[in-house]
């Protein structure tokens, strides 16, 4: 695996292979892709208003439900492999992963909530040989995702 770069903003940070290309179409949701175009990741931060603020665990669960509806179309052959939510009212994190075996497309979502912030990243393997290989490839990247200065 190539060396890693770290991308840091005011409120979050993530590391990914240094040969990945910034293919972002906006500053709101950066997108980085492998040189071969077979893997990618999106990151987005939300700041919840005081009126829409829920506890962190509830926010993570809500974001997961929205992501399932967005990514797992009922007409496609998606299988939800794994889903977790950990934490409490003040800080929480969640992780889910799914695969479309027919299209060999693996996707994983990670959510981190603390205070009024929710950080969400999705990790995509567009040509996945199997879920365990995709999970192993992205494990360092997923573990590096963090909220900062909250």
Instruction: Please give the angle made by the CA atoms of 148, 121 and 67, to the nearest 5 degrees.
Output: 130
Residue 11 lies in a domain: yes
Can you give the pLDDT at residue 1?
59
Residue 75 lies in a domain: yes
Plot region of 34 (φ>0 → left; ψ -120 to 50 → alpha; else → beta):
beta
Instruction: In whole angstroms, give the CA distance from residue 22 to residue 16.
Output: 11
Contact 96, 135 (CB under 8 A): no
Q: How many Cα atoms are found within 13 Å in the side-chain-facing hemisphere of 103?
A: 16
Residue 126 lies in a domain: yes
Instruction: In whole angstroms, give the CA distance from residue 66 to residue 36.
Output: 29
Judged on CB neighbours under 10 Å (0-12, 13-18, 19+), 73 is: exposed
Boundaries of domain holding 45 = 4-15+35-147
Contact 56, 64 (CB under 8 A): no
Residue 29 lies in a domain: no
Q: What is the pLDDT along the chain (150 residues), one digit of tens a residue?
A: 568 989 999 999 999 999 999 999 877 789 999 999 999 999 999 998 877 768 999 999 999 999 998 888 877 889 999 999 999 989 999 999 999 988 999 999 999 999 899 999 999 999 998 999 999 999 999 999 999 987
Residue 52 lies in a domain: yes
Number of folded domains that form the chain: 1
Can you give the pLDDT at residue 132?
95
Residue 27 lies in a domain: no
CATH code (residue 85): 3.40.1000.10
Residue 136 lies in a domain: yes
Which is it for the CA torsion 70, 4, 116, 84, positive or negative? positive
Nearest Cα neighbor of 98 from 141, 128, 54, 121 is 128
Can you give the pLDDT at residue 43?
96
3-state secondary structure of 22: strand
**Rg of the chain on CA atoms, in Å:** 15
Residue 26 lies in a domain: no
Can you give the pLDDT at residue 37?
96
């Amino acid at each position: 695996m190539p060396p890693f770069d770290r991308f840091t903003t005011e409120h979050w940070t993530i590391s990914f292979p240094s040969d990945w290309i910034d293919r972002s179409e906006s500053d709101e949701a950066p997108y980085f892709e492998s040189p071969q175009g077979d893997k990618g990741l999106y990151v987005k931060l939300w700041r919840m208003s005081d009126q829409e603020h829920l506890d962190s665990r509830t926010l993570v669960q809500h974001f997961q439900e929205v992501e399932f509806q967005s990514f797992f179309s009922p007409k496609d052959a998606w299988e939800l492999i794994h889903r977790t939510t950990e934490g409490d009212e003040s800080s929480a994190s969640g992780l889910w992963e799914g695969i479309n075996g027919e299209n060999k497309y693996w996707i994983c979502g990670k959510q981190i909530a603390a205070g009024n912030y929710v950080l969400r990243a999705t990790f995509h393997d567009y040509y996945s040989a199997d879920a365990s290989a995709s999970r192993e490839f992205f494990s360092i990247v997923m573990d590096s995702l963090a909220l900062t200065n909250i």
